[in-house]
Chains A and B, each alone.
Chain A
Amino acid sequence: MRYEFKLPDLAEGMVEGEIVGWLVAAGDAVVAEQPMVEVMTDKATVVISSPRPGTVLELGYQSGDIAPVGTTLFVLEVEGAAPEVSPEAPSAPAPGDQTTTSRPKAAPKLEAPAASAPASRAGDGPAAVARGAGKAVATPATRRLARELGIDIAQIEGSGPAGRVTQEDVRAHVDGKQRREAAAPVSPATAHAMAPLVARRTEGEESDKRVPLRGLRRAIYETMTRSKSTAAHFTYVEEVECTNLVQARERLRAASDAAGVRLSYLPFIAKASLLALRAFPKMNATMDDAAGELVLWGHHHLGIAAATDAGLTVPVIRFADDLTLIELAARVVDLSDKARRGRLSPDESRGSTFTITSLGRIGGLHATPIINHPEVAILGVHKMEPRAVVREGQVVARQMMNISLSFDHRVIDGHEGAAFAQRIKTYLEDPDLMLLEMR
Chain B
Amino acid sequence: MAETLETRAVVIGAGPAGYVAAIRLGQLGLEPVLVEKGELGGTCLNVGCIPSKALISASKLVHQLGHSSEMGISCPDVKVDLAQMMRWKDGIVGRLTGGVGQLVKGHGGRVVQGAASFEDAHTLRIDGPEGERRLRFEHAIVATGSAPASLPGFEFDGRSVVGSTEALAWTTAPERLLVIGGGYIGMELGGVWQRLGSRVTVVEFEDRVLPGFDKDLARPVVKRFQAQGGTLLTGTKARGFRALKGGGVEVEVESRKDGTRRALEADVILLTVGRRPLSGGLGLEKAGVALDARGFIVVDGAQRTNVSHIFAVGDVAGEPMLAHKGSKEGEVAAEVIAGRPSAFDTSAVPAVVFTDPEIATVGMTEGEAKAAGYEPRAARFGFAGNGRALSLNDAEGFVRLVACAETGRLLGAQIVGPEASNLIAELGLALEMGALVSDIGLTIHAHPTLAEAVMEAANAVSGHAIHAPPSRR
Contacts and interface: CB of A to CB of B under 8 A. Distances in A.
B436 A129 contact: no
Contact of B347 (A110, A113, A133): A133
Contacts of B291: 117
Contacts of B300: 118, 120-125, 127-129
A424 B304 CA distance: 62
Interface stretch (A197-205, A274-282, A356-364): A197-205
Interface residues of A, number: 45
Contacts of A387: none
Interface stretch (A143-151, A184-192, A302-310): A143-151
A8 B304 CA distance: 44
B196 to A, nearest CB: 40
Interface string B286-305: 01111110000011111010
A163 B307 CA distance: 37
Interface stretch (B201-209, B237-245, B336-344): B336-344
Interface in B325-361: 336-337, 339, 341-347
Contacts of B139: 204
A139 interface: yes
A137 B288 CA distance: 37
A376 B115 CA distance: 67
A410 interface: no
A433 B379 CA distance: 93
B432 interface: yes
A140 B346 contact: yes
Name the residue in B138, B139, B337, B433 with the highest tally of chain A Cβ atoms < 10 Å from its Cβ.
B433
B308 A147 contact: no
B345 A135 contact: yes
Contact of B301 (A107, A128, A134): A128
A118 B306 contact: yes
B309 interface: yes
A123 B196 CA distance: 49
B56 interface: no
Contacts of A150: 341
A278 to B, nearest CB: 54
* Interface residues of B, dominant DSSP: loop
A410 to B, nearest CB: 39
A89 B60 CA distance: 71
B302 A125 contact: yes
A160 interface: yes
A419 interface: no
A162 B404 contact: yes
Contact of A140 (B138, B307, B309, B432): B432
A50 B407 CA distance: 28
A201 B308 contact: yes
A156 to B, nearest CB: 13
Given A113-B288, A160-B434, A129 B301 contact: yes
Interface in A147-170: 147-148, 150, 160-164
Contact of B436 (A113, A130, A131, A162): A162
Contacts of B434: 137-139, 160-162, 164
Contacts of A120: 300
Contact of B339 (A116, A125, A144, A203): A203
A115 interface: yes
B288 to A, nearest CB: 3
A140 to B, nearest CB: 5
A131 B306 CA distance: 16
A96 B337 CA distance: 29
A105 to B, nearest CB: 12
Given A117-B292, A127-B300, A137 B409 contact: yes
Given A117-B290, A118-B298, A161-B436, A108 B306 contact: yes
Nearest to B120: A111
A128 B436 contact: no
B164 to A, nearest CB: 28
Given A113-B289, A127-B341, A204 B298 contact: no
A390 interface: no
Contact of A131 (B298, B301, B342): B301
Nearest to A206: B308
A375 B37 CA distance: 67
Nearest to A198: B341
Interface string B412-439: 0000000000000000000011101000
Contact of B308 (A115, A116, A125): A125
Contact of A110 (B306, B309, B337, B432): B309
Nearest to B298: A117
B372 interface: yes
A127 B372 CA distance: 26
B343 A161 contact: no
29 contacts: A108-B306, A110-B308, A113-B289, A113-B306, A114-B306, A114-B307, A115-B290, A118-B290, A118-B298, A121-B298, A123-B300, A125-B302, A125-B308, A127-B304, A127-B341, A127-B342, A128-B300, A130-B301, A131-B344, A135-B345, A135-B347, A138-B434, A147-B343, A147-B345, A148-B341, A161-B408, A161-B409, A162-B404, A203-B337
Given A129-B343, A133-B372, A150-B341, 19 more contacts: A111-B122, A112-B288, A113-B289, A115-B290, A117-B290, A117-B292, A121-B298, A122-B301, A127-B304, A128-B304, A135-B345, A137-B409, A147-B342, A147-B343, A147-B345, A161-B434, A162-B408, A162-B436, A200-B339
Instruction: Give the top 3 A-B pairs by smallest Cβ distance, nearest first.
Output: A113-B288, A129-B343, A202-B339
Interface of B: 121-122, 138-139, 287-292, 298-302, 304, 306-309, 336-337, 339, 341-347, 364, 372, 404, 407-409, 432-434, 436
